[in-house]
Structure formats: structure tokens, C-alpha cells
Amino acid sequence: MKAWLNGRLLDSPRDPAVNVLDHGIVVGDGVFETVAVVDGRPFALTRHLERLMRSAEGLGIGRPDLDLVRTGVAATCEGQDMPFGRIRITVTSGEGPLGSPRGDGPQTVIVVTEPAERAASVSSIVTVPWVRNERGALAGLKTTSYAENALMVEYARARGGSEAVMANTRGELCEGTGSNIMYAIDGQLVTPTLESGCLAGVTRALAIEWLGAELDVVERDAPIEVLQEADEVILLGTTRNVQAIERVDDREVPAPGPLARAAQEIWARAQAQQIDP
């Protein structure tokens, strides 16, 4: 693992380094990205940096210096043997007071990169009794205020799932804590619209493009109960890629079913051809 902070590689990634008054720590006032490393190189880095910019602007913490972030990404990838890995980029509003109002910055920029195991191609999900607020101030932004997600994924893990999936306030299927969802019904692959309040996932966008070229893929909202009748269920996310789901709560689902298998093949083929699509 290598860690980089505000332009400097840390001697040891666990060295104390961030100011205790950082508003990212005090109230979660920051944005982040998780980028996969494939064969030693960051996958879809440009799309992730564009979303980092959109999240920072949406949160109102100002525009991050993306050239600086790229420097951190390169510095933390260099010299690590990584067939697969994970890069975590965090940008906070910087030092602030011990309450919600912000200070004057400057921003704190952190990049941490580590080798990782590839996710299993099949997994299970648990639906949770809490909702994503599609009208909330942070809807659609990838912020470090993710404690809600941490709680939900622990709820899912306690029930044998690797991911928690939630509805929005309208009761529509929305997303997982770190993934978007797709399901098959009547031969069609369906994923919730961005109006559902889900994050505009990089994997989701690429899946709509890549799978959509060969399969019937649509964006459509439906009540979360659709998961009880779906023929197949798939999670989409940076660390999971295209993951088939074999159990939704107590319901067994064929996995990988024919559409999930086709989706995984199309994904693997396309991903092998381009590192920054």
C-alpha cells in the first residue's frame, strides 16, 4: 500500500498525516472516488476524475486540482505489483471549525493505492429497511458522508449478504451502498434511472453502453419489490465489475443466469481493450 497527501508520498501509509481539524474528519465534508487498478494501470480514470469534479462542485467545496490528483495516482501506483488493485482518492474542504460551517481551506487531497483481490463473480444481497433520499442535499454526489452506507452494509453482512440494496423515498429500487443494480425481466436488462437518486456509477454508464450494444438494456424505475420477481439480478460497481446475484434476502436467483453470463463476457472483452474508456 502507498499513501500520498497534498503532493507528498508518505514514508509509511499508516503515518499520522491529516490535521485533526480537517472538516472531512469533523463532519464528513469531502468527496471521493474509488478507481480500480487493472494490470497496474488505473481503469476509467478520466471518468472518475470528472465525477470527482462534479461531486466537489455539487458539495460546494471548490474545484479540485485534477493534475495534482493524477500526480498522486501515478506516485502511488508506481513500483507496486498490482494485477488488480484499488485507488482511493479523497478531497476534503480542508481545515475547518469544530462544527458544520466550513473554514477557508485549502483542500486536503489524499490518494491511497493498494493491491486487492478481484471480487467474486457471484454474490448475495440484502434489502434494507432504510431509504436513499433522492431529494437530499447529497443525492447523486459521492461524498465522504457515507456512515449511512457503512451501517447498511453491516446490516447486510449480518444477514449473509455482501451488499445492502435500498429503495428511495418513493419505494422505488435505487442502488447498493457501493454499487448500482440491474435486473433481468422478460429478457430485458433494467437499471434504475438517475432520477431514482442513485449515484451515476462509472460501471453503470459503461454497462449501459457496452451491454446495450448487444443486449436489450433500459433505464426504468420500478418498486423495489421487482427484485422478488426478477429472473436475474446483477450488481455493477468499480470493485465488483458485473457481479451476478444468487440470493436476494431469502430468495434464490439463478446466477449467473444467461443474461448475467453474457453481460460478464461483454464486459470482460470491452474492459480488456481500453484502459480509459
Beta carbon of residue 167, minimum distance to ligand PLP (angstroms, whole number): 14
Among positions 62-101, residues that touch ligand PLP (CB under 6 A) are none
Cβ 123 vs Cβ 245: under 8 Å: yes
The verdict on 238 binding ligand PLP (CB under 6 A) reads: yes
The x, y and z cell numbers of residue 73, run together, are 495516482
Q: Is 164 in the site for ligand PLP (CB under 6 A)?
A: no
Does 162 sit near ligand PLP (CB under 6 A)? Answer: no
The residue from 52, 152, 167, 199 that contacts ligand PLP (CB under 6 A) is: 199
Judged by CB under 6 A, the residue of 6, 19, 34, 145 near ligand PLP is 34
With contact defined as beta carbons under 8 Å apart, do 85 and 115 qualify? yes
Kindly give the interhelix angle for 202-212 and 258-273, rounded to the nearest 10 degrees: 100
Contact between 192 and ligand PLP (CB under 6 A)? no
Distance CA 107, CA 35 (A): 20
Burial class (CB in 10 A: 0-12, 13-18, 19+), 62: middle
- CB contact burial 10-23 (16+ within 10 A = b; e otherwise): beebeeebeeeebb
The residues in 168-187 that bind ligand PLP, with binding defined as CB under 6 A, are: 175, 177-180
Q: How far is the CB of 223 from ligand PLP (least distance, A)?
A: 19
Residues at the interface with ligand PLP (CB under 6 A): 34, 142, 175, 177-180, 198-199, 201-204, 236-238
